[in-house]
Amino acid sequence: MPKKIAIVEDEPELASLLEYNLAGQGFGTRVFPGTQNTIASLADYRPDLIILDVMLPDADGFHLCREVRRHSALGSVPIIFLTARSDEVDRVLGLEIGGDDYVTKPFSPRELVARVKAHLRRGDPVEEVAANGASCRGPFRLDRAAHRVYQDSRELPLTSTEFRLLEFFLTHPGRAYSREQLLQEVWGEQHFVTPRTVDVHVRRLRERIEQKPDTPVYLTTVRGFGYRFEIPDQD
């Protein structure tokens, strides 16, 4: 699923330029002209990152940034400010009130895209632990206490074995595991399981988490060995 970038910008030409460059890199985009109710529209869209113009018609970008940070569903979304003002005070203020980065107009679209990618990658390789003990990796959130896994905030309907298998993969990403290792780790000492059992459950799990189970992006086959789970790079 492509990462979604919200572009909060009232100048149509600049918004189009940003959309063109981001879409060309495979990102989903939506432009918000920055008028009233932007915060509600953003909450509907659920962006992975927000590009936020400081100078907006109804409110300034700083005000909107504060609203985003206070919002329960948007609070941790990276924000890159776009500012025409090269004023040091504005830059510092933008970062102090919760912006993650800023780009001063005029900017090179290439540089902006590079910043977007860098901020999206930040959280990916390491496991982030949320305040309630749930851990997040890419679009997945694992709540061990509640025995639930969410993908893009949607709860996955998993059997107990699928849950244990996905839990193992989420906590051991990037490494290839053989079927025998997975049996040992996930099924433990059960005598009625065979390596074929692993294949069956991997196939079912792919149907839950992959957009196209036949060409998986998260749970891939390591030919002649077993399986690997990883959050793909956006590049």
The residues of the shown chain that bind Ca ion, judged by CB under 5 A, are 10, 53, 55
Least distance between Ca ion and beta carbon 45 (Å): 19
| Greatest CA separation for the chain | 69
Residue placing its CB nearer to Ca ion in the complex, 48 or 53: 53
Residue nearest to Ca ion (CB): 55
The minimum distance between CB 106 and Ca ion, in angstroms, equals 13
CB of 9 to Ca ion, least distance (A): 6
Distance of CA 191 to the CA centre of its chain: 39
Nearer residue to Ca ion within complex by CB, 10 or 67 = 10
Residues 6+ apart with CB under 8 A from 174: 228, 229, 230
Determine the Cα–Cα distance for residues 32 and 50; give it in Å rounded to an integer.
10
Residue 172, phi then psi, degrees to nearest 5: -135, 60
From residue 36, alpha-carbon distances to 9, 14, 58, 188 in Å are 13, 20, 7, 56
Beta carbon of residue 28, minimum distance to Ca ion (angstroms, whole number): 22
Residue with tokens 């049996």: 183
Is the CB of 18 or the CB of 116 nearer to Ca ion? 18
CB of 66 to Ca ion, least distance (A): 18
Nearer to Ca ion, 13 or 189 (CB): 13
Residue closer to Ca ion (CB basis): 2 or 57: 57
Residue 86: Cβ within 10 Å count: 9
